[in-house]
């Protein structure tokens, strides 16, 4: 077997389940309004997660193979779907049946990785959510009530003299990168405004324009402020915690405005 083929098989059998687990976890995590982008595969963090997930998948799969082999009286008449035979034999002597069951094992191992990532994403754990959302987790937690939603103030990079163009709207989707920075936002019921800088400080000026839906990419804005707004006309479930204040402000994602004269 050639070196390239061997490397490909090692990656397919050994690493691929961990990659699938990682992407399954991120794909099934998040909320309707917030999605987190998986870390780059070349990053040390991603490599550590993929390696850990792959070891866990292999442990459970090898354990399942061992349990199947110990079934009494040979109740199973089919060969084992063992992906590791692809690494242990010479391909020139590999029969079609052995190849079929070997790649069937690769398929089952991959499905195990997808299911494993899905189960991790479904688990309701405070530590997992803190790890996944970072600074955004308190906002997500408090916005899960029926009468709460996230409002955003986005200050764009568009400038006219000392006026900066801004948008205020209800968050329908936020995209975070692997460093938990906002790299995309979708807003509904958007109001356009201008932030005017003068000697007395910033002043908001209404743009008298409303937009039904707006999508912002990371290059479109220089900072975003988020707040939770509660509609007291909507009854929340008894199991949820209500608060006396209608509006809770969370000014936690900001950058410095460029200096102006």
Task: Tell me the pLDDT band of 244, cut-offs 50, 70 and 90.
Answer: very low
Cα–Cα distance, 214 to 221 (Å, whole number): 12
Determine contact, residues 216/154, Cβ cutoff 8 Å: yes
Cα–Cα distance, 248 to 147 (Å, whole number): 13
Domains of the chain: 3-123 (no CATH), 133-250 (2.30.30.100)
State the DSSP code for 8.
H
Determine contact, residues 155/222, Cβ cutoff 8 Å: yes
One-character DSSP codes across 88-101? HS-GGG--HHHHHH
Cα–Cα distance, 204 to 71 (Å, whole number): 74
* C-beta atoms surrounding 54 within 10 Å: 22
Cα–Cα distance, 36 to 109 (Å, whole number): 25
The helix/strand count (H/E) of the chain reads as 7, 7
Task: Tell me the pLDDT band of 168, cut-offs 50, 70 and 90.
Answer: very high
pLDDT at 13: 81
State the DSSP code for 111.
H
pLDDT tens across 182-240, in order?
888 889 999 998 888 777 778 888 878 888 999 988 888 888 888 888 766 655 554 44
Task: Tell me the pLDDT band of 7, cut-offs 50, 70 and 90.
Answer: low
pTM given for the model: 0.65
Cβ neighbours of residue 60 closer than 8 Å, sequence gap 6 or more: 112
Cα–Cα distance, 28 to 121 (Å, whole number): 6
3-state secondary structure of 196: strand
3-state secondary structure of 115: helix
Identify each DSSP E strand in the chain by its residue range: 34-36, 148-160, 163-176, 182-198, 201-217, 221-230, 247-250
Query: Using CA of residue 115, residue 42, residue 224, residue 218, what is the dihedral sign?
Result: negative
* C-beta atoms surrounding 81 within 10 Å: 20
pLDDT tens across 46-90, in order?
899 999 999 999 999 998 888 887 776 455 566 678 888 877 766
């Amino acid at each position: 077997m050639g070196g390239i083929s061997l490397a490909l098989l090692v990656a397919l059998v050994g690493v691929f389940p961990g990659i699938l687990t990682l992407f399954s976890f991120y794909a099934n995590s998040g909320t309707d309004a917030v999605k987190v982008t998986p870390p780059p595969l070349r990053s040390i963090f991603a490599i550590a997660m993929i390696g850990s997930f792959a070891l866990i998948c292999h442990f459970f799969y090898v354990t399942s193979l061992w349990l199947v082999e110990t079934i009494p009286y040979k109740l199973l008449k089919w060969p084992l779907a063992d992906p590791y035979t692809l690494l242990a034999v010479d391909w020139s002597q590999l029969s079609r049946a052995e190849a079929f069951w070997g790649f069937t094992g690769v398929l089952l191992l991959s499905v195990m990785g997808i299911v494993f990532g899905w189960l991790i994403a479904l688990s309701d754990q405070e530590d997992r959510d803190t790890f996944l959302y970072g600074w955004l987790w308190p906002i997500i937690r408090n916005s899960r009530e029926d009468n709460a939603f996230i409002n955003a103030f986005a200050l764009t990079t568009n400038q006219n003299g000392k006026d900066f163009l801004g948008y205020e709207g209800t968050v329908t989707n936020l995209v975070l990168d692997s460093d938990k920075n906002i790299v995309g936002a979708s807003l509904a019921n958007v109001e356009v405004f201008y932030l005017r800088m003068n000697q007395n400080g910033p002043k908001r000026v209404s743009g008298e324009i409303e937009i039904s839906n707006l999508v912002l990419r990371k290059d479109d804005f220089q900072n975003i402020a988020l707040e939770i707004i509660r509609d007291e006309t909507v009854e929340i479930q008894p199991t949820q915690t209500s608060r006396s204040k209608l509006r809770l402000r969370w000014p936690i994602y900001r950058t410095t405005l460029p200096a102006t004269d």
